[in-house]
Structure 1
Amino acid sequence: MCTSGAKKRDDSEGDVGCTSCSSTCCENCVCRVQCISCSRACRCPETCTNRPFRKEKKIKIVKTEFCGWGVEAAEPLNKGDFIIEYIGEVIDDKLCEQRLWDMKYKGVQNFYMCEIRKDFTIDATFKGNSSRFLNHSCKPNCILEKWDVEGETRVGVFAAGSIRVGEPLTYDYRFVRFGPEVKCYCGAPNCQGYLGAKRKIDKLNIGWGAKRKRTSTACVAIMTL
């Protein structure tokens, strides 16, 4: 277990990631399309924009009226901007299930787990950063992306469009229910009313290790008992 949002690939060795660029990467760069960051071995300059996770944007933690703590943009953001890395403890499926049941018995109401693949879940319940305070929206202005950075899998929050200063930062939790219904207060025109309304489960059967495209939003399971 490690206190981070990164996990080294078992088959990684030597120089990994994008190593073939000779100039600044463009939007159609093969590495960028596959969410592979330029590596230290890449010949592109340090100003290359295909190197997220180096500098986070300014954000502000605020108290919301209905959703507890939340996060607002503290500077203007453009579509595609890297905002912050989703960080927590990296745990396997067995420990994840154990923690879920332990927290249920203790009456813990809020906890946050991001399933990346089989035996790789980022748990920001006890250890994490400001990314854990981003709230859900049925019409979010941010997305989560899974990137390969120097052979490590890392998850980042990126702007889905232009965001003004003071605007709440939200993403789709892709909520998996484990207990009573949880009302959604996002206020979006397309709000479903309840989190996980279309993904209700009665038992802890989340389908660990389901295959997902590298470029898709990382599957986030926010469990509320």
Structure 2
Amino acid sequence: MPALSNKPYRIGRSKTGLGLFATQPIKKGSKIIRYFGPMLDCNKKKDDAVENKYLFQISKRWTVDGSVRKNVARYINHACKPNAESDVNVKKRKIIIRAIKDIEPGDEINYDYGTDYFKEYLKPIGCKCDSCEKKRKKKAAEARAEKALLKQKAERKAQKQAEKYAGKGKAKKADKARAAKTSKAGGKTAKATKSKAKTTSVKAKKPEARKPKAKKPKAAA
């Protein structure tokens, strides 16, 4: 595998603090940097008691303590879809970080820290790698879209109900208007009938014209 002749990286500001960034094109398969530090023997209590975020386990017995300042590889951040990987040589107790993709200048170099580290340190606070950030943004966008859709459905339902009630209100007003018109017409008819009945009654009570009585002839003298 090709090895780069000079340091193709720099320490820079990342989303999670500091990170390691490419300063020149790095071809797939190239050795980027070595991860190193004091070797801890897990069979010794004093070594097994060491705790920090930069412990890199090589085997069940040996672990590299990469917290030393000279270990620039400790600045490489985790990614669920990385552009590099850790190549571990158990016999030589060496850890080499190699590119598994072509890396362009300015790209952040990253590799997968493994399941144990992820569960212990990253899962509780949420992984901030590009892949996980995209997933979160996608879920958030889908949630917003779902919320907007539900809101639109609720608004349409409310509008239909309002139109339904408005239609019922118009029907009631029309019914009331018809009832009032019918009542008014009925009142007029009743009034006319009453008036006619009154006229007939008056006519019935009017006395008939009396005939003049015939005068008796006077007796002859």
Equivalent AA in structure 2 for residue 99 of structure 1: V
Task: Give the 3 Å change call, closer, same or farther, for CA 67–169 of structure 1 in structure 2.
Answer: same
Amino acid at match of 2:81: K
Deviation at 1:161, TM superposition (A): 1.0
| 2:31 partner amino acid | F
Check whether the contact 2:8–2:26 (CA below 8 A) recurs between aligned residues: no
Alignment of 1:174-193 (within 5 A): 174-176=114-116, 177-178=119-120, 181-188=124-131
1:63 is matched with 13
Counterpart CA distance in 1 for 2:47 and 2:130 is: 31
Give the Cα separation in 1 of the matches to 2:132 and 2:16: 17
Instruction: Find runs of 4+ consecutive structure 1 residues off by over 3 angstroms.
Output: 54-57, 94-97, 177-180, 189-193
Q: Which residue of 2 aligns with 1:89?
A: 38
> Is there any run of 5+ residues in structure 1 with no aligned partner, and where?
1-48, 101-109, 194-225
How many residues get paired? 131
CA distances 1:119-146 after superposition (whole Å, capped 9, x unpaired): 2100112354210000010100000102
CA gap 1:141/1:162 in 2 versus in 1, 3 angstroms: same
- Determine if contact 2:37/2:64 at 8 Å carries over to the other structure: yes
Q: Counterpart of 1:99?
A: 50
User: Which of 53, 64, 83 does residue 141 from structure 1 map onto?
Assistant: 83
Question: Higher strand proportion, which one?
Answer: 1
1:186 is displaced (CA, Å) by 0.5
- Residues 82 and 56 of structure 1: is their aligned pair in 2 closer, same or farther, counting only changes over 3 Å? farther
Aligned to 1:157: 97
| Counterpart in the other structure of 1:166 | 106
Which amino acid counterpart does residue 64 of structure 2 have in structure 1? Answer: I
The 1:87–1:128 alpha-carbon spacing in structure 2 relative to 1, beyond 3 Å, is farther
For residues 192 and 145 of structure 1, what CA distance do their matches in structure 2 show? 28
Confirm or deny that 1:124 pairs with 2:74.
no
Paired with 1:191 and 1:95, the residues of 2 have a C-alpha distance of: 42
AA aligned to 1:135 is N
Matches of 1:117 and 1:190, distance apart in 2: 32
SS at match of 1:182: coil
The alpha-carbon deviation at position 83 of structure 1 amounts to 0.4
Separation (CA, whole Å) in 2 of partners of 1:57 and 1:154 = 19
**What's the secondary structure of 2:95's corresponding residue?**
strand
Bigger Rg, structure 1 or 2: 2
1:92–1:121 Cα contact (<8 Å) kept: yes
The correspondence of residues 25-44 of structure 1 with structure 2, limited to 5 A, is none
CA distance in 2, matches of 1:57, 1:89: 22
2:57 to 115, 120, 138: 115
Query: What's the TM-score once normalised by structure 1's chain length?
Result: 0.51
Q: For structure 2, which runs of at least 5 residues remain unmatched after alignment?
A: 137-221
- Verify the 8 A CA contact 1:84 1:158 in the aligned structure 2: yes
Judging changes above 3 Å, is the alpha-carbon distance between structure 1 residues 191 and 114 closer, same or farther for their aligned structure 2 residues? farther
Q: Tell me, yes or no, if structure 1 residue 77 matches structure 2 residue 19.
A: no
Distance (whole Å) between structure 2 residues aligned to residue 63 and residue 188 of structure 1: 19
Q: Partner of 1:131: helix, strand, or coil?
A: helix
Q: As a proportion of its length, which structure holds more helix?
A: 2
Q: Percent identity?
A: 27
- Distance in 2 (alpha carbons) for counterparts of 1:136 and 1:91: 23
